[in-house]
């Protein structure tokens, strides 16, 4: 599949990028996407939630009232979850939410997500570029030139470029990642995918393993 390459002014160049059908026109697998996104979101969780149970509450354990004859239920401690200020029954405890999925499943998920973007014509290939200095206005102009000012965009670079990253960091709905860090969640979360020329080869090298 051939795609025209644009420059940062939003104009077509004489070059064309070849997107491999094995990655951008494959048979999508929805379940692999589900597993990969589920793992990504689970790994973002800190898992530091904690509430005190009755054994951890500092309250009196003196018997509150006599056992029988009051007409009410038995009560032996203010630590009981039944009382205001008592411990929490079966409260949350710190835990690790992360889980493992196979590398082949993760690769299939990314291929499926890229295929969906290609089917929706939501992929633009951009000529490799750089900014002389970090400047938000430069990135805003780039997005405007591509007619994507009102879209959620994900720019994928072949190699790390600090000036481009810093220029985009303060813009809502704009994200910049390296091709080696590309994940299924970011692909699907973006309204439009912008691939630099060099990133196409890196993505194909990684996903063809």
Q: Does 173 score more than 80 pLDDT? A: yes
**Other Cβ atoms within 10 Å of 132 Cβ, number:** 7
Residues 187 and 123 in one domain: yes
Q: Does 209 score more than 80 pLDDT? A: no
Residues 151 and 62 in one domain: no
Is-contact 26 203, C-beta < 8 A? no
Is-contact 117 28, C-beta < 8 A? no
Q: Does 141 score more than 80 pLDDT? A: yes
Q: In percent, how much of the chain has pLDDT > 90?
A: 79
Residues 51 and 31 in one domain: no
Report the DSSP pairing between strands 123-126 and 12-18.
unpaired
pLDDT tens digit sequence for 70-122: 999 999 899 999 999 999 999 999 999 999 999 999 999 999 999 999 999 99
Residues 182 and 192 in one domain: yes
Residues 122 and 189 in one domain: yes
Mean pLDDT of 2-25: 88
pLDDT tens digit sequence for 189-198: 999 999 999 9
The pLDDT value recorded for residue 176 is 94
Residues 41 and 52 in one domain: no
Phi-psi region at 163: left, alpha or beta (left = phi > 0; alpha = psi -120 to 50): alpha
The pLDDT value recorded for residue 3 is 85
62 lies in which domain range?
Answer: 47-96
Q: Does 144 score more than 90 pLDDT? A: yes
Mean pLDDT of 144-166: 92
Q: Give how many domains the chain has, as a whole number.
A: 2
Q: 96, 128, 159 — which closes off a domain?
A: 96
**What is the CA angle 137-183-209, rounded to 5?**
125
Q: Does 12 score more than 90 pLDDT? A: no
Mean pLDDT of 8-13: 87
CA–CA separation, 78 and 65 (whole Å):
11
**Other Cβ atoms within 10 Å of 186 Cβ, number:** 17
Q: In percent, how much of the chain has pLDDT > 70?
A: 100
Residues 150 and 61 in one domain: no
Give DSSP secondary structure letters for the chain.
Answer: -EEEEE-TTS-EEEEEEE--HHHHSS---HHHHHHHHHHHHHHH---------GGG-----S--S-SSSSSS-----TTSTTSTT-PPTT------------HHHHHHHHHHHHHHHHHTT-EEEE-----SS--HHHHHHHHHHTT-TTS-EEEEESS--HHHHHHHTTSTTEEEEEGGG--HHHHHH-SEEEEEHHHHHHHHHHHT-
The pLDDT value recorded for residue 120 is 92
Residues 175 and 130 in one domain: yes
Q: 80, 96, 112 — which closes off a domain?
A: 96
The pLDDT value recorded for residue 2 is 85
HEC string for 138-154: HHHHHHHHCCCCCCCEE
pLDDT tens digit sequence for 53-68: 999 999 988 898 999 9
Q: Does 140 score more than 90 pLDDT? A: yes
pLDDT tens digit sequence for 179-189: 999 999 999 99
């Amino acid at each position: 599949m051939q795609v025209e390459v644009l420059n940062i002014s939003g104009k077509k160049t004489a070059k064309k990028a070849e997107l491999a059908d094995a990655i951008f026109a494959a048979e999508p697998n929805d379940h692999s996407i589900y597993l990969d996104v589920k793992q990504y979101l689970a790994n973002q969780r800190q898992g530091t939630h904690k509430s005190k149970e009755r054994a951890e509450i500092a309250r009196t354990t003196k018997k509150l009232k006599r056992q029988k004859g009051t007409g009410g239920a038995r009560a032996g401690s203010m630590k009981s979850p039944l009382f205001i200020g008592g411990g929490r029954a079966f409260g949350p405890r710190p835990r690790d939410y992360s889980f493992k999925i196979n590398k082949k499943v993760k690769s299939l998920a990314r291929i499926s997500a890229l295929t969906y973007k290609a089917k929706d014509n939501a992929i633009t290939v951009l000529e490799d570029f750089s900014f002389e200095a970090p400047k938000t206005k430069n990135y805003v102009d780039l997005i405007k030139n591509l007619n994507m000012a009102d879209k959620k965009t994900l720019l994928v670079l072949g190699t790390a470029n600090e000036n481009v990253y810093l220029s985009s960091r303060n813009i809502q709905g704009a994200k910049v990642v390296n091709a080696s860090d590309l994940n299924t969640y970011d692909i699907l979360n973006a309204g439009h995918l912008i691939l630099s020329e060099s990133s196409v080869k890196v993505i194909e090298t990684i996903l063809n393993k």
